[in-house]
Structure 1
Amino acid sequence: MTLLESRAEVRRVLEEHRVVAVVGFHPDPTKPAHYVPEYLHRQGYTVIPVNPALAARGESYFGQRAVATLAEIRTPVGVVDVFRRSDRVREHLDDILAMQPLPRVVWLQLGIRDDHTARALMSRGIDVVQDRCMLADHRALL
């Protein structure tokens, strides 16, 4: 697929894909990895937290039980939203590609880029957004 960069492409993702799995979800409401997903939930998105420690404790957020891996999710996911350092994104490639069905988009949050992983995802038909904040784009475009 493609690297999505235009406002129109990003807007289409936000409008069409309402189920978001959040890799690196954080329980602290002062962290972006919590308040961005919380904002999306308040906007009507289904948000699935992905964090092995929270899953091991059986925690739930926004009405969804935390999972340890993306491959555990059985609901079709439109967007995998990644809150991990750029040098850690590649560690999640196999987990993303193990999802059934594959997600439509992988979104790397503001400040996060991994061109190698982006190319690998696009070669499998997954669109990629890099270095953008879903909260800021939602506010600006919708």
Structure 2
Amino acid sequence: MTKPSGWSKSSVPNAQISLAIKADAQADGVFTNFNVTSAPAASGQDISAYTSAGATQMRQQGATVTPVADRKIGGEDAKGYLVERTYSGAKLAQTQYFVQKGSTVYITTMTSAASQKANADSTMNSILGSWTWTK
């Protein structure tokens, strides 16, 4: 994928994170950021099951979850949702997509201040539109 101009790598203490990048400046108190986590796919599970489980987990944490349109990521089918929640006093918008490639499920997350969602969506679409698989 192509990193947006003015963004840099971010270090996140989570072994499941394959990629973490963020804007170089905050917008409304939040660094807009994009990350990718991965996990082995469970036998017999399809991408809808992962998406449903993720949405349920977010709702259990008190977030509002709204489905978003399916899309392709690197030519593979992806499903996702929008999460709206407050974290450390900031109103956040997070769009997550789940995509499976081979025996791995990837979860992409774009996070921004809720007021910056339109800009974040544009950046996310650019990132996901440039996505190619190397394996």
Q: What is the TM-score when the length of structure 1 is the normalising length? A: 0.29
Q: What is the TM-score when the length of structure 2 is the normalising length? A: 0.30
Tell which structure's C-alpha radius of gyration is larger.
Answer: 2
More helix by proportion, 1 or 2? Answer: 1
